[in-house]
Amino acid sequence: MSRITVLVPGKMHERVLARLKERYEVIEADATTLDADTAKRVRGVAVSGTLTAADIDALPNVELISSFGVGYDNVDARHAATKGVIVTNTPDVLNDEVADTAIGLLLNTIREFPRAESWLRAGNWKPGKSYPLSRFSLKGRHVGIYGLGRIGQEIARRLEPFKVKISYHTRTRNADVSYDYYPTLKDLAEAVDTMIAIVPRTPQTHKTINAEILSALGPEGVFVNVGRGWTVDEEALAAALKSGAIGAAGLDVFYDEPHVPAALLDLPNAVLLPHLASGSVPTRNAMADLVVDNLVGWFDARKPLTPVAETPLKG
C-alpha cells in the first residue's frame, strides 16, 4: 500500500520530521510550489509558520493541518473549516513552561536582574560600588491577568505564593476561580498596578494594550506580555515607558517578529526576550509529539487529539 503523503512547508522541529518520516511520505515544500499531481497526493500538513487560504486551496485532498504551537493564528482555520479540513494545535503541554517564563520575566522586569548581570559582566562591581536598588518590588503588588485560559490560570497559580493580589479580565467570567473579575480591560487596568497579557491573536485583541490602558496602569505600573505582540500598540508602549506613564515592561512577543522596534531596544526599563516562553528542549519535544500524534490519531483512527474550536469533525 502506498504511504500517506504529509506536507511540511517551512521550518519544522526535527523531531516532527523524524517521526513523520517513519510513517509517511514527507514533502518539505510550500503548498503553492507543488505540481498538480503531487498536490493531489497531500492528505496531511504539519506546519510551524504560516498557512494561508491560498495554501489550503492548493491542496485539494488535504484532510488535517497539524499546527505547531497553541496559538494557531498562523493558520487560516476558518477557511480550512469551510472546506471540511481539520486544524489541530498543541495546547496544555506547554502551559507550565510558558507560565514559568511569565513569572521569570515579571521578576526580571521588576527587579532588573538582566541589567544587573550586564553591569556585573561589564566589570562594574568593585569595592565600594554596588548595583543601584531596584525601583520596584513584587511585594504588595496587585496583578491583573488579561486572559485567564489554560496558561493564564497556571500563571495565577504560580503568583499565589508570592502573596500578591490577583485579578483578571476575560470576556466570560470563570466561576471556578476566586480572583476578582473585571468585565473590561480598562476596569482591570485601573484596579491593578501590574498586568500580564496572555490572550490569543484575534480581531478583538488587536492593539488592545494602548495608551489609555497603559496610562490607567500608571507610573508604578508594570506590563508583561507572553501572549502575542499583536495585542500591543508598541508605539504607545515605547512612549509610555519613555515618559514614565508606566514604570517598566517585559516582552516575550512582538508585533512584527523578529523585528523589535528601536524605540523599545533603546529603553532601559524594558526587558526583551526573543519569543522563547515555550522554548525548552523537553517542552518543544512534547509539542512536536503532539503535532505528530494529531496526524497519527486522524489517519489511524479518525481521531485527532486536539482539534481547534473552528474545526468541523468529520468521519
Q: Which residues are catalytically annotated? A: 228, 257, 275
Report, in Å, the least distance between residue 70 CB and ligand 8YV.
Answer: 4
CB contact at 8 A, 277 and 229: no
Q: Which is nearer to ligand 8YV, 144 or 229 (CB)?
A: 229
Q: Does 149 bind ligand NAP (CB under 6 A)?
A: yes
Q: Does 149 bind ligand 8YV (CB under 6 A)?
A: no
Q: What share of the chain is helix, strand, coil (3-state, %, to 5)?
A: 40, 15, 45
Q: Which is nearer to ligand NAP, 95 or 269 (CB)?
A: 95
CA dist., res. 87 & res. 66, Å (int): 6
Q: Within positions 58 to 117, which residues make up the interface with ligand 8YV, using CB under 6 A? A: 68-71, 94
Quote the cell numbers at residue 164.
500578591
CA dist., res. 177 & res. 158, Å (int): 14
Q: Does 48 bind ligand 8YV (CB under 6 A)?
A: yes
Number of residues that bind ligand NAP (CB under 6 A): 30
Report, in Å, the least distance between residue 248 CB and ligand NAP.
Answer: 18
CA dist., res. 109 & res. 122, Å (int): 20
Quote the cell numbers at residue 257.
517578529
187 CB-side CA count, 13 A? 10
User: Considering only 136-144, 194-202, 213-221, 281-289, which stretch makes contact with ligand NAP by CB under 6 A?
Assistant: 194-202
Q: Within positions 211 to 270, which residues make up the interface with ligand NAP, using CB under 6 A? A: 226-228, 252-253
Q: Which of 282, 297, 309, 287 is nearest to 64 (CA)?
A: 297
Largest CA distance in the chain: 76
Q: Within positions 72 to 131, which residues make up the interface with ligand NAP, using CB under 6 A? A: 91, 94, 98
Angle at 247 between CA 246 and CA 249, to 5 degrees: 90
Q: Positive or negative CA dihedral for 211, 216, 220, 223?
A: negative
Q: Within positions 218 to 277, which residues make up the interface with ligand 8YV, using CB under 6 A? A: 275
Find which of ligand 8YV, ligand NAP, none residue 151 binds, CB within 5 to 8 Å per kind: ligand NAP
Find which of ligand NAP, ligand 8YV, none residue 48 binds, CB within 5 to 8 Å per kind: ligand 8YV
Q: Within positions 271 to 310, which residues make up the interface with ligand 8YV, using CB under 6 A? A: 275, 278
Q: Where are the alpha helices (DSSP H) in the chain?
A: 14-23, 36-41, 53-57, 77-82, 95-111, 113-121, 150-159, 185-191, 211-217, 234-243, 262-265, 281-301
Q: Which is nearer to ligand NAP, 5 or 208 (CB)?
A: 208
Report, in Å, the least distance between residue 30 CB and ligand 8YV.
Answer: 17
Residues of this chain that bind ligand NAP (CB under 6 A)? 70-71, 91, 94, 98, 147-152, 169-172, 198-202, 204-205, 226-228, 252-253, 275, 277-278
Residues of this chain that bind ligand 8YV (CB under 6 A)? 48, 68-71, 94, 275, 278
